[in-house]
Structure 1
Amino acid sequence: MLFRRSRSFALSDILDGCRNQKHAAQKQLFEAYYSFGINICLRYADNREEAEEMFDDGFLRVLAKIEYYDPGQSFDAWFRTVIIRSAIDHYRRHKSSIAFTSIEDAYDIGYDEGLFDRLSAEEILAVVQLLPPSYRTAFSLHVVDGYTHPEIARMLGINEGTSRSNLAKARIKLQELLTQRAESSSLNLRNYV
């Protein structure tokens, strides 16, 4: 589990306080959802500072749009969606410095799916952050957050083929980085034996 809330956490009371712009309720919501939100943002950011900036922007958006939340739905899912969209907006603001490639440029190389199973979530996240921003975003949106390529294309203002290409290249690059990390760990272990 990525984060835990105390058993005494009364979400409906906190949300009512946020709707009434009570600072104590806003602080409680921030503290309760910080870990959850920052973990989402880390998948889209180059580093922790950028993730914190994304989360701050997203949390302000959550507070601004709290009246649109439907209490009949999962707050976690609504919160997650707002944070992801905020991260994507951050990405779009900085997109001019990011290079996209077309599907024609993608190449098909096999990769070891089992490699992901042998690493912890933290190790995989650290390697995902090493990906170029366009690859990291396509990977996070499709693999982690479950968006389709047409949805990703609309969100990022790119072609569907570009989304597919970036995902394919992200997987290849992840395989290379994870293999290097695994080989490096094996070498380090052999030096101590």
Structure 2
Amino acid sequence: MNYTEEELIAGCKRRSAKHEEVFYKKYYGYVMGISLSYSKERDLALEITNDAFLKFFASIKKVESFKTVKAWLRRITVNTAIDYYRKNKKYQSHLDLEIDIPNEVEVNALSSLGFEDILKLINQLPEDQKLVFNLYEVEGYSHKEISDRMGITEGSSRVYLTRAKVKLRQLVHIHLKEYEGR
């Protein structure tokens, strides 16, 4: 059934299962895309996605305008991903790549990377670095906001971001070497 955005939100506020199902299907790809940018594993991204929708439906009465729904949903999804990180960070470990690379990669060479290639490279980052990178570079959070949300110091946030950028440079360099070898 085709609902206007206003009808869809009004139905979700009434906790109509049909409206919630339509809303879920409409925004699933959007939320899953955000979740995948914060998780390496598709199963975990799906868990984040479903939890984000549950939180959204539980808090939808706070949404004052249907125009703010997408931003509200994005915020909930990012916060849910952060919650998963905090809950699971004690189980995470990672190895750092030890490789000598030039400090700068040719900008022209970077143009050969597609969106999917860039996502694959970001997904190779350790979880803590990936999360800080996304929060800082994609979402626009400050190091103070990141430290508050993740329960780490501002200095740790800066270190994770720096390490993420160094590692991405390494991964881009490796990717470009492989690309040239084809």
Please classify the TM superposition score into its range, dividing by the shorter chain length. Answer: 0.7 to 0.9
Structure 1 residues 96 and 22 mapped into 2: Cα distance closer, same or farther (>3 Å)? same
Pairing 1:187–2:181 present: yes
The equivalent residue for 1:164 is 158
Contact 1:111 1:172 (C-alpha < 8 Å) held by counterparts: no
Question: Cα distance, 1:112 vs. partner?
Answer: 2.8
Unaligned runs of 5+ in 2: 95-101
Contact 1:116 1:124 (C-alpha < 8 Å) held by counterparts: no
Show the 5 A alignment for 1:1-193: 10-71=4-65, 74-98=68-92, 110-112=103-105, 114=107, 116-188=110-182
Distance in 2, matches of 1:186 and 1:27, equals 47
**Of 145-154 and 111-120, the range deviating more from structure 2:** 111-120
Percentage of identical aligned residues: 29
Cα offsets for 1:2-35 (capped at 9, x unmatched): xxxxxx6621111111111111111111111111
TM-score (norm 2): 0.88
Structure 1 residues 42 and 10 mapped into 2: Cα distance closer, same or farther (>3 Å)? same
Distance in 1, matches of 2:156 and 2:125, equals 16
Question: Cα distance, 1:72 vs. partner?
Answer: 6.8
Q: CA RMSD of the aligned region, Å?
A: 1.9
What residue identity is the alignment partner of 1:86? T
Distance in 2, matches of 1:17 and 1:144, equals 32
Distance in 2, matches of 1:63 and 1:113, equals 46
Structure 1 residues 172 and 83 mapped into 2: Cα distance closer, same or farther (>3 Å)? same
Question: How many correspondences in the alignment?
Answer: 173
Unaligned runs of 5+ in 1: 1-7, 101-108, 189-193
Distance in 2, matches of 1:66 and 1:24, equals 15
Structure 1 residues 66 and 94 mapped into 2: Cα distance closer, same or farther (>3 Å)? same
Question: Cα distance, 1:74 vs. partner?
Answer: 2.1
Secondary structure in 2 matching 1:70: coil
Distance in 2, matches of 1:14 and 1:86, equals 23
TM-score (norm 1): 0.83
Contact 1:41 1:87 (C-alpha < 8 Å) held by counterparts: yes
Distance in 2, matches of 1:166 and 1:83, equals 21
Contact 1:99 1:134 (C-alpha < 8 Å) held by counterparts: no
